[in-house]
Structure 1
Amino acid sequence: MKTLKILRIIFTLILGGMMILGGFNKFESPSPAPTEMVETIKKGEEVAPNTEVLKIQNYIFGMQQTNYFWQFLGFVELLAGVLLISQLFSLMGAIIALPVTINIFLFHLFLEPNEVGELVQMSGLLLINLAIIGFSFKLWKPMLYNKTALKFS
């Protein structure tokens, strides 16, 4: 039991730290101009060395071009990370982080399948996220299964 508590704390610190790092990275550089890629192509400069890299660049460029989603994603990662590290609100942080970690995992699975190390790392983060939620099963189980809602008397 004590080992599970220690493991849970370690997991929340790892996932929380990764979320905070990812969130801060979203605010590092300003969003590129909407015509940046078009201008690069018009100049005859190479946009990407191959199709796989082009898919990744287009995906990230598209999120940045909305002028809100890239920053929103960064904010969500920061929020989830702070909640996870707080330990008091770690379940809420893990629930908020779950769609983000699923998306990061799928990004690496479909857009960078040759980067096995990154895929393994992201698989680990997804499993850690699921484990944190699983450790708190007793807390969220009543939301899934409510015996009193089935009584008609």
Structure 2
Amino acid sequence: MRTFASAGELLASVGEHLGYSEWQDVTQERVNLFADATGDHQWIHVDPERAKEGPFGTTIAHGYLTLSLLPILVGQVYRVDGVRMGINYGLDMVRFPSPLPTGSKIRAGVEILAADDKGEGWTQLKCRVTIEREGHEKPVCVTDALTRLLI
């Protein structure tokens, strides 16, 4: 994990790739729980028997499930000492270039694209987060995530 001692150190790291998270399992149970939480029970996600005959040969994770794993994944890549609070500010871009079959493992790589002092102790980060599937070249999710940190 990359640790920044200050906001200044963070600001000086724009353009750097910070590293990768640990691998996370994307199980059918996780997909089913997400379906229950969101009400999205489309068969391609929750019906393994029917999904065998579908375009991917198995169930796949919801794109938004993949996206919802950003906090755990990014939280394993870097931290900033002295942060009093962090909030999600939004996303500038999200793409799902390839499907994520259940039973896969994923990890995230993080690159700081921009870091701006917003005043009154707030720093805004724009990070490119690329979520990859173990053993596959094409990512399953790429997003430019905006985070505001109160330091």
Fold-level match, TM-score > 0.5? no
Q: Which is richer in strand?
A: 2
TM category, shorter: under 0.3
Give the structure with higher Rg (CA).
Answer: 1
| TM superposition score normalised by structure 1 | 0.25
Q: State TM-score, norm by structure 2.
A: 0.25
